[in-house]
Amino acid sequence: MSSTVEQIVSRPQIRETQCFIGGKWLPAASGKVFDTIHPATEEVIAQVAEGDKEDVDLAVEAARDQFDGGEWSRLNARERGRLMYQLADAIEAESEELAALETFDNGKPISDARGDISLVADCLHYYAGWADKIQGDTIPINGEYLCYTRREPVGVVGQIIPWNFPALMAAWKWGPALAAGCTIVMKPAEQTPLTCLRMARIAQNVGIPDGVINVIPGYGPTAGAAIVKHPGIDKIAFTGELATAKIIQREAAETMKRMTFELGGKSPNVVFADADLDVAAEGAHFALYFNQGQCCCAGSRLFVEEKVHDEFVDRLIEKNKGRRLGDPFDPQTEQGPQVDQAQFDKIMQYVDYGKQDGAQCVSGGQRFGDQGYFVEPTLFAGVSDDMRIARDEIFGPVLSVLKFNDVDELVRRANDTNFGLAAAVWTRDITKAHRFAAQVRAGTVWVNCYDVFDAAAPFGGFQQSGLGRELGEAGLAAYTESKTVTVSLG
Ligand code: NAI
Ligand code: MG
């Protein structure tokens, strides 16, 4: 063993466990708390305030006050940007602590958590730069008029996020909201509230005015639903499951809220025989197993050209054998546990479905170890398009390999889904690559790479993978309203 091998990271202290409303840390009005656990050991690590409607009401009041006439509404745009840069810098300065907290609450390996936190800071830096660059147009209309548009913040935004990238999803949602001048009521996922609460503390420390960011930990059907229904909230931004999004869409329709959704997928990842197979195998492995397979854009339908299929499957099996599962606080660990028992059970159910439907489980398929929600990296070969493991989002380390020969047929099969979040293609032939990128129905296409994200590049889904886009200028647009002003010059 080399002496440079990094030490196991120590467990962080948990400080913030209450609701954050108008700059105050408060218990839930009901007095209720819920447990949050460390998924690698199943131990309870903290009890967190279980927010509900009453707490949401207070948070909306605080957010409305700041938006409708408070300090935040009067701050000029450049100053808003400066505060955002300070927030990003402060998060960067506390990144080790935040990463450890993310690993503790979510179970993801510390090396991945560090990557997430650096993306958090990057996203906030990026949107800080937008704050003073949101501008309208002057429009030549008929008659003697001056006509111009103003882009104004949409208002108080309700943001509901999932547990797979807790801190990063908070940043994706805070970034454009703060840049645009909105105020926020956020509900983190009940599985992983801790990093979002810590980030709220950091925002308070750098001087973001009280009431601009409010955080209500709690459950979906209670705290989440209260946000969705609240008449004082102008927009909902949601990331999570399609079934939840449909409920939200119905509930939010009552008050005509603006809505953006980032939902799941069953993304096709296509390997042509002419690809650099070393790079493609590494990429296909990463595309699915990264983050324990808990990625909305996971490359979960792997189409491999028949000529190289068997060889490619062998390479994937080898990679799975070498994957290091274990203590997520160990910097050498590559795969941690799933987030909770429910996700673990769902995944094991799909492993059964795969077997029942006649696919061959050529790697993994079992629980790993005897504590924590670990699932072995699992590979199914001989998968056909209609099997449940080829159609449904599993959200775990289960990869389905499908064979193809004919390219036209491939595009039809790749598009035979109600989802449309991401897709990828591996080939040395640029014509094939661009043709596939044009024909596949997905919001993001990667060519000879996977999971390349950048705060400046829009991300979101076609079809039932979402509504609207996050990140980049497109992500900002969802947080502004356009106002047309016409002035008589007569
Ligand atoms: P979920 O959609 O229930 O949870 C996401 C967020 O929505 C959480 O904060 C939750 O508390 C909230 N929520 C739940 N019901 C709500 C309601 N009625 N009103 C308002 N907010 C509500 O997802 P869940 O149950 O955690 O995971 C189930 C499946 O969803 C996963 O197996 C995976 O397939 C998919 N998923 C997709 C994600 C993505 O990034 N696209 C993230 C998380 C889950
Ligand atoms: Mg749910």
Determine if the pTM surpasses 0.75: yes
Residue nearest to atom 10 of ligand 1 (CA): 220
Token pair for residue 443? 């919001």
- Please write the tens of the pLDDT for every residue from 38-63: 999 999 999 999 999 999 999 999 99
Question: pLDDT-based confidence at 96, cuts 50/70/90?
Answer: very high
Percent of the chain with pLDDT over 70: 99
Question: pLDDT-based confidence at 6, cuts 50/70/90?
Answer: confident
> So what's the pLDDT on residue 3?
53
> So what's the pLDDT on residue 89?
98
Q: Is the pLDDT of residue 142 over 60?
A: yes
Q: Is the pLDDT of residue 478 over 80?
A: yes
Other Cβ atoms closer than 10 A to 334: 18
Residue nearest to atom 25 of ligand 1 (CA): 241
The verdict on whether 144 is a catalytic residue reads: no
> 203-206: long-range contacts at Cβ-Cβ below 8 A with a sequence spacing of 24 or more?
203/87, 204/20, 204/23, 205/90, 206/83, 206/86, 206/87, 206/90
E strands of 120-233, at which residues?
138-139, 145-153, 156-160, 183-187, 213-215
224: three-class secondary structure by DSSP? helix
Contact 239, 189 (CB under 8 A): no
The verdict on whether 262 is a catalytic residue reads: yes
Contact 52, 226 (CB under 8 A): yes
Task: Please identify which of the residues 296, 297, 334, 361 carries the catalytic annotation.
Answer: 296
Tell me how far apart the alpha carbons of residues 160 and 239 are, in angstroms, rounded to a whole number.
7
| Average pLDDT score over residue span 329-353 | 98
| Average pLDDT score over residue span 378-383 | 98
186: three-class secondary structure by DSSP? strand
Q: How far apart are the CA of 244 and the centre of ligand 1, in A?
A: 6
- Please write the tens of the pLDDT for every residue from 20-42: 999 999 999 999 999 999 999 99
> So what's the pLDDT on residue 4?
67
Token pair for residue 256? 């005509």
Residues sharing a CB contact under 8 Å with residue 410, sequence separation 6 or more, in sequence order: 270, 303, 404
| Average pLDDT score over residue span 275-286 | 98
Ligand 1 neighbour 247 (Cβ under 6 A): yes
Q: How far apart are the CA of 131 and the centre of ligand 2, in A?
A: 34
- Please write the tens of the pLDDT for every residue from 211-267: 999 999 999 999 999 999 999 999 999 999 999 999 999 999 999 999 999 999 999
Q: How far apart are the CA of 240 and the centre of ligand 2, in A?
A: 8
For residue 221, which ligand has an atom nearest its CA?
1
Length of the chain equals 490
- Please write the tens of the pLDDT for every residue from 177-194: 999 999 999 999 999 999
Query: What single string gives the DSSP state of each residue in 377-426?
Result: -EEEES--TTSHHHHS---SSEEEEEEE--HHHHHHHHT-SS--SEEEEE
What residues are paired with 262 via a beta bridge?
239, 466
Indicate the residue type of 37.
I
> So what's the pLDDT on residue 1?
46
Q: Is the pLDDT of residue 309 over 50?
A: yes
Q: Is the pLDDT of residue 305 over 50?
A: yes
Phi, psi of 53 (to 5 degrees): -55, -45
Task: Please identify which of the residues 50, 94, 102, 262 carries the catalytic annotation.
Answer: 262
Question: pLDDT-based confidence at 340, cuts 50/70/90?
Answer: very high
What atom in ligand 1 is closest to the CA of residue 245? 2
For residue 343, which ligand has an atom nearest its CA?
1
